[in-house]
């Protein structure tokens, strides 16, 4: 039995998230189906670095796969991509330590969220179009409050797999172009729907409906307000997953050209 590390990109529009589910099409499910077709064995384990919700995309999801095979990593990559639909792509496959775990060994992750300031015909599955005028300076200033260790109970749905709601956010970077706002968030890990609620509250601040002081309150005491402001999944991209020894890129991956 060999363990392989997989680097995966996908458009999550047609899928009910990463995690395998009964009666739903998921990224993990499609990958496993392809794996069984390639390796013709009964026992394959394939795990990801974390779950992404339905409609959320990945520029570089990381997974590990246990399978008995003599195929070289590059041949495995090509065989996967011959079978997979066009909205899922294996970027790279490499043989790895049998003890490597895509989720448990990850030390940080980065997400990029894209807000569109104009209506778009071609990119609606990859942005959140906000009709209202947004104050970028207020968004950027408020975003810096997320940095550091905070309790994100107000920003997450309950999850039986998570023992703590405390998360260390290393950096939040906001960039504005003519028609887009990019919000890049780097953290130790992320809770269920956490990034979408962080972005939702920042959008409310940009609209002038919430303030920095409101955001501070949500970080110090539980509130249901962030849940009401949850941003749609379409604009969210898992950018990268980092492991011990990896250097976090200062330049984030831009999923889309400016509209």
Domain count for the chain: 2
Query: Looking at the domain assignment, is residue 255 inside a domain?
Result: no
Query: Looking at the domain assignment, is residue 256 inside a domain?
Result: no
The pLDDT, as a whole number, for residue 255 is: 80
Mean pLDDT of the chain: 95
Same domain for 83 and 116? Answer: no
Same domain for 86 and 121? Answer: no
pLDDT tens digits, 104-161: 999 999 999 999 999 999 999 999 999 999 999 999 999 999 999 999 999 998 765 6
This prediction's pTM: 0.95
The pLDDT, as a whole number, for residue 163 is: 77
pLDDT tens digits, 23-41: 999 999 999 999 999 999 9
Q: Which of 53, 87, 105, 151 is catalytic?
A: 53
Same domain for 86 and 118? Answer: no
Same domain for 158 and 82? Answer: no
Domain span at 48: 2-95
Catalytic-residue membership of 246: no
Query: Looking at the domain assignment, is residue 124 inside a domain?
Result: yes
pLDDT tens digits, 180-232: 999 999 999 999 999 999 999 999 999 999 999 999 999 999 999 999 999 99
CATH number of the domain to which 9 belongs: 3.30.70.580
Same domain for 86 and 36? Answer: yes
Q: Please spell the DSSP secondary structure of the chain, one letter per residue.
A: -EEEEEEEEE-GGGSS-SS--TTS--HHHHHHHHHHHHH--S--EEEESS---TT-EEEEEEEEEEE-----HHHHHHHHHHHS-TTEEEEEEEE--TT--TTTTEEEEEEEEEEESS--SS-TTS-EE--S---HHHHHHHHGGG-EEEE-GGGS---TT-S--EEEEEEEEEEE-SSEEEEEEEES---TTHHHHHHHHHHHHHHTSS-HHHHHHHHHS--SHHHHTPPPGGGEEEEEEEETTPPPPSSPP-SS---
When pLDDT is averaged across residues 43-69 and rounded to a whole number, the result is 96
Beta bridge partners of 243: 106
Query: Looking at the domain assignment, is residue 249 inside a domain?
Result: no
Same domain for 115 and 230? Answer: yes
Query: Looking at the domain assignment, is residue 131 inside a domain?
Result: yes
The pLDDT, as a whole number, for residue 162 is: 64
Per-residue confidence band for 254, with pLDDT thresholds at 50, 70 and 90 = confident
Same domain for 6 and 76? Answer: yes
């Amino acid at each position: 039995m060999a363990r392989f590390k997989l680097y995966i990109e996908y458009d999550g529009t047609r899928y009910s998230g990463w995690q395998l589910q009964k009666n739903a099409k998921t990224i993990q499910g499609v990958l496993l189906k392809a794996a069984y077709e390639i390796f013709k064995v009964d026992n394959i384990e394939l795990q990801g670095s974390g779950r992404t919700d339905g409609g959320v995309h990945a520029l570089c999801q990381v997974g590990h796969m246990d399978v008995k095979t003599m195929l070289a990593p590059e041949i495995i990559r090509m065989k996967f991509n011959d079978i997979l639909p066009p909205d899922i792509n294996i970027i790279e496959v490499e043989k790895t330590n049998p003890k490597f775990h895509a989720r448990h060994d990850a030390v940080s992750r980065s997400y990029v969220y894209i807000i569109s300031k104009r209506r778009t015909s071609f990119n609606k599955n990859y942005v959140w179009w906000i009709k209202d005028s947004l104050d970028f300076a207020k968004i950027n200033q408020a975003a810096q409050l997320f940095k550091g260790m905070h309790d994100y109970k107000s920003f997450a749905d309950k999850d039986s797999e998570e023992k703590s709601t405390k998360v260390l956010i290393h950096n939040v970077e906001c960039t504005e172009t003519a028609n887009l706002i990019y919000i890049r968030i780097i953290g130790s890990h992320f809770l269920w729907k956490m990034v979408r609620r962080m972005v939702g509250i920042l959008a409310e601040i940009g609209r002038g409906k919430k303030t920095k002081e409101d955001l501070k309150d949500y970080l110090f005491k539980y509130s249901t307000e962030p849940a009401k402001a949850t941003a749609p999944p379409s604009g969210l991209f898992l950018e990268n997953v980092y492991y011990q020894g990896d250097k976090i890129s200062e330049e984030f991956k831009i999923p889309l050209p400016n509209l």
